[in-house]
Structure 1
Amino acid sequence: MTDNKSALYAAFKAKDARFDGRFFVGISSTGIYCRPVCRAKQPKSENCTFYTTAAEAEQAGYRPCLLCRPELAPGTSITDATATLARRAARLLEENCGSGQSLDELAGRLGCTARHLRRVFADEYHVSPVQYLQTCRLLLAKNLLTDTDLPVLEVAMAAGFNSLRRFNDLFKKQYNLSPTALRKRTTEGKKHNGNITLALGYRPPYHWEEMLNFLAGRAITGIEAVKNGEYMRTVHLENTEGKHVYGWVRVGHRPKKNVLAVTVSETLLPVLPQVLARIRHLFDLSCDPNAVYETLRVMNDIRPGLCVLGTRVPGCFNAFEMVVRAVLGQQITVKAASTLAARIVDTYGTPMQTGIEGLTHIFPLPKDIVALDGAIENHFGVLGVTAARSNTIYELARALVQGEINFDLCAQPEEEMKKLMAIRGIGSWTAQYIAMRAMEWPDAFLETDAGVKKALQPYTAKELLKMAEAWRPWRSYATVNLWNTL
């Protein structure tokens, strides 16, 4: 992509948001690198060098621009590149930059060797995984230094640096500025309210209200709430030592800046990279809406308005929670499924104090379900869950505990869907829905879904499936577009 300098310079000059996060511009006259949307004075073409990633720009000796803030650039979708292994590795590095996991451990999660991962990563990004990880940590630290009043030591720890001295030395070496000096320059005159609020960028347009409506309709009482144009939920994750970490997160929209404002409880600092990665997944922030629309706009030939530019696929924050919700929702209304999920949470969830009205519990873990004494239908039956669905939920929990199924950036979603459908009670609709929301699979299609069939009356399911061939590889986005028309 970075070979066509004239085209990239034209995009940079136009401040084209479609290219935000897809490349970065190193400016030799200033020694800084910028996002394509930077509003600083336009440099001359001969002073610009274009890079695929922020890590590549930093390895070339450039420092991040304090005006456009490269750490706010949206990421790239797993499906954007043919080198999907490298893309998945990059996402894992971003999510685990604070975990201290070795490259061998990350490669194992992706089903390859560290040597193979280094090779494909360098081919795709022109830097090593270690160099990419270093930039992830530095940019997260820069974000925290700029937008919060956390002590520098806590910033260093949250970003994955185990040594304050190493953090200070590396930050100064890479950015020619100490962490404390950056804070003085970027926070002068700002008032902090004690909350930890960071910004996550996206490529516009973004239909926030449609996303909130979808999540609100499926919110589980005690776990999630949508109020005053914001999404809130409880959080339970494990840190690098396996310690359980509890807290809450609140997400709002700042359309003028093309970012989501993510406020997290201070208790979540040890797992902050994981939290941010899950928010990106939940709100589909890595999507390139123009690339999706380029394929799906043919839907409007069927009926005007079927496909809308900027539509996102709602992901999930907690895969098991979403999967249980999907099983409960089979052949009943969305509201009824939410009621059953709330009963499970109230009975088997973990109570917690958040200080936020409506956020009172943590969803039970798969191991909590497996550990219940006696037949599972005896536990869930009194809550109104049928024996068949109770057993399906139990088998899903067991498969997750034993590592038989993987929802975490799985390399082959179609293989995981086959494993899902081998579980009694999970058919094509449920497997496709789970893949779409939990596995970031962009090409799921629910031809038997009542909403899809209603949106495209009078076509049959067989006709819909044939029609949707023209919508690959974005059939998940086509599905959400059809739901939004109802």
Structure 2
Amino acid sequence: MHDDFTRCYRAVQSRDARFDGWFVIAVSSTGIYCRPSCPARTPLPANVSFHPTAAAAQRAGYRACKRCRPDASPGSPEWDVRTDVAARAMRLIADGVVDRDGVTGLAARLGYTVRQVERVLGAELGAGPLALARAQRAQTARTLIESTDLPLSDVAFAAGFSSIRQFNDTIRAVFDCPPTQLRHRRGGRRGLRAPEAGAVVLRLPVRKPFSHDGAFAHLAATAAPGCEEVRDGAFRRSFRLPHGVGFVGLTPHDDHVRAVLHLEDFRDLPVATARCRRLLDLDADPTAMSEVLSADPALRPLITRAPGRRIPRTVDEHELATRVVLGQQVSTAAARTLTARLVTEYGRPVSDPAGGLTHLFPTAGDLRDATVPGIPGARRDALQALNRALDDGDLVLDPGADLPRARAALSALPGIGGWSTEVIAMRGLGDPDAFPAADAGVRTAGELLGVPIAEHSVRWRPWRSYATQYLWSVLDHPINHWPPKETT
């Protein structure tokens, strides 16, 4: 989009917040880059250039605006819906792959050479993987500096910097001031107060409109006992991170989600934040989705009633795939029972500092030979085959997964049919056009709306995953009750 000067400039003139995260505007007369909705006076066209990412603007010598804080806007929805190499790379960079494994590790995950990856990202995004990872570290650091009371030394390592000097130099270069000044500028305002010691509290920005009840209700209704719970109005869960264990409580608000994180290792904070955003689909583009789906009279009233529904996703694609297999042809309550048995038998026990979570969900390696009382032999075989493929690397399900290849590998496994593949693609891999046409709830909703699902769904492309969320919303089912009638 950043290549369309006229469209971008019009968005800036109207201060349209819907375009925040899609691109940044750089002003040569000030040396500053901003988000499109910046309240400052619109610069002259001759002084303006547009860049696809903050990293590209920084590479061109621009500093972040101190007024509109472009790094605090929601992420670009482009990386969620695209399946090309650049988008896959951006999702992996957000998940911390460059910081953990370097550019070589990123290239290996993508199946390309380092030179190819650098060339593609440079051409597409105006910056290479190292610059993109650096921009992400700077954005994380600024968020922590301004929204928490963590010591600056802790902020540096939590944001992924390898030294205090590197942290100081980067903050000065990107924001034109030292970290101490960034913290001082917030005035008398203290950071978001944690409800208990050792917690980090963040405001996760969202792209509006944001109808959060659907995603939170679905996550609550399907919560895996031991790994997930609803407590004090928050959806909480445990999850495995690169350097340790994490716990998060997520509370929805109209313009943000409040996240309370407990981490064994502060270095996991950027990854934990990215996975929480992915879990709640916070970077989706509700405007583009609504424009297509609202054209259908059958869906229009549902969208008008709750604009901006999100897809309830996952913090762990392997976990989601396993839970989908467990949930084949059983009710939501039965799937929870089976999942609880699996977690208790194979999950790693943990100590929750702020609630009742007791386990981490088991890894693919833990489940290679798993048996769960109450499931048929064919589903047991499917569960084992899935986790062996994941553990051996024959099936890749992660933020950088090649979607067509993952679909083909899933379909080749015994017991993984069309419904399972579509749900894993939708909730695990974020395919905006996945569509579980065989789902009982989808079929029932079609009957209630008076539309033949198979034929009618063509008009919902490329947003059929979001159409599914609206179809499910017409059902009298626990996935549509938030707060839940009974806490877990």
Which TM-score applies when normalising by structure 1? 0.89
| Cα shift at 1:27 | 3.4
Q: Indicate which of 217, 220, 226 corresponds to 2:224.
A: 220
Matched residue, 1:281: 278
Say which is worse superposed, 46-55 or 147-156, in terms of deviation: 46-55
Q: How does 1:28-177 map to 2 (within 5 A)?
A: 28-78=28-78, 84-96=84-96, 99-177=99-177
Q: Is the 8 A contact 2:229 2:235 kept in 1?
A: yes
Q: Indicate which of 295, 312, 334 corresponds to 1:336.
A: 334
Task: After superposition, give the CA deviation of every residue in 1:251-271 in whole Å (9 maximum; x if it has no partner).
Answer: 22342xx32222211424221
Q: Which amino acid aligns with 1:403?
A: G
Say which is worse superposed, 307-316 or 36-45, in terms of deviation: 36-45
CA distance in 1, matches of 2:251, 2:449: 38
Residue 425 and residue 2 in structure 1: after superposition, are their counterparts in 2 closer, same or farther (change >3 A)? Answer: closer
Higher relative contact order (CA 8 A, sep 6+): 2
CA distance in 1, matches of 2:116, 2:183: 39
Matched, 1:357 2:351: no
Matched residue, 2:238: 234
Q: Is the 8 A contact 2:326 2:339 kept in 1?
A: yes
| Cα shift at 1:104 | 1.8
Q: How does 1:299-448 map to 2 (within 5 A)?
A: 299=296, 301-302=297-298, 304-307=300-303, 309-370=307-368, 376-377=370-371, 380-381=372-373, 384-448=374-438
Matched residue, 2:22: 22
Task: After superposition, give the CA deviation of every residue in 1:402-434 in whole Å (9 maximum; x if it has no partner).
Answer: 001111134432332222222222111011111
| Cα shift at 1:478 | 1.3
| Cα shift at 1:342 | 1.2
| Cα shift at 1:454 | 0.8
Q: Which amino acid aligns with 2:453?
A: L
CA distance in 2, matches of 1:450, 1:278: 29
Q: Which amino acid aligns with 2:225?
A: T
CA distance in 2, matches of 1:361, 1:2: 45
Q: Is the 8 A contact 1:146 1:187 kept in 2?
A: no
Residue 320 and residue 266 in structure 1: after superposition, are their counterparts in 2 closer, same or farther (change >3 A)? Answer: closer
SS of the equivalent of 1:263 reads strand
Q: Is the 8 A contact 1:97 1:273 kept in 2?
A: no
CA distance in 1, matches of 2:466, 2:354: 33
| Cα shift at 1:79 | 6.1
Residue 191 and residue 303 in structure 1: after superposition, are their counterparts in 2 closer, same or farther (change >3 A)? Answer: closer
Q: CA RMSD in A?
A: 2.4
| Cα shift at 1:38 | 2.5
Q: Kindly, what percent of the aligned residue pairs are identical?
A: 38
Number of matched pairs: 469
Residue 63 and residue 238 in structure 1: after superposition, are their counterparts in 2 closer, same or farther (change >3 A)? Answer: same
| Cα shift at 1:155 | 1.6
Matched residue, 1:484: 473
Residue 199 and residue 189 in structure 1: after superposition, are their counterparts in 2 closer, same or farther (change >3 A)? Answer: closer
Say which is worse superposed, 98-107 or 269-278, in terms of deviation: 98-107
Q: Which amino acid aligns with 1:426?
A: I
CA distance in 2, matches of 1:446, 1:189: 48
Q: Is the 8 A contact 2:148 2:190 kept in 1?
A: no
Say which is worse superposed, 270-279 or 8-17, in terms of deviation: 8-17
Q: Is the 8 A contact 2:81 2:430 kept in 1?
A: no
Q: Indicate which of 281, 287, 292 corresponds to 1:290.
A: 287
Matched, 1:454 2:444: yes
Unmatched runs of 5 consecutive residues or more in structure 2: 476-488
Matched residue, 1:475: 464
SS of the equivalent of 2:26 reads strand
| Cα shift at 1:76 | 2.3
Which TM-score applies when normalising by structure 2? 0.89
Say which is worse superposed, 81-90 or 418-427, in terms of deviation: 81-90
Matched residue, 1:242: none
SS of the equivalent of 1:305 reads helix
| Cα shift at 1:222 | 1.4
Matched residue, 2:479: none
Q: Which amino acid aligns with 1:420?
A: L
| Cα shift at 1:180 | 1.7
CA distance in 1, matches of 2:22, 2:191: 33
Q: Which amino acid aligns with 1:485?
A: V
Say which is worse superposed, 26-35 or 196-205, in terms of deviation: 26-35
CA distance in 1, matches of 2:7, 2:25: 13
Task: After superposition, give the CA deviation of every residue in 1:86-125 in whole Å (9 maximum; x if it has no partner).
Answer: 1221221122167342212101101111111112211211
Q: Indicate which of 205, 227, 236 corresponds to 1:201.
A: 205
CA distance in 2, matches of 1:133, 1:485: 42
SS of the equivalent of 1:406 reads coil
| Cα shift at 1:219 | 0.5
CA distance in 2, matches of 1:10, 1:322: 41
| Cα shift at 1:162 | 1.0
| Cα shift at 1:182 | 1.4
CA distance in 2, matches of 1:459, 1:416: 33
Q: Is the 8 A contact 1:284 1:314 kept in 2?
A: yes
Unmatched runs of 5 consecutive residues or more in structure 1: 240-244
| Cα shift at 1:66 | 2.9
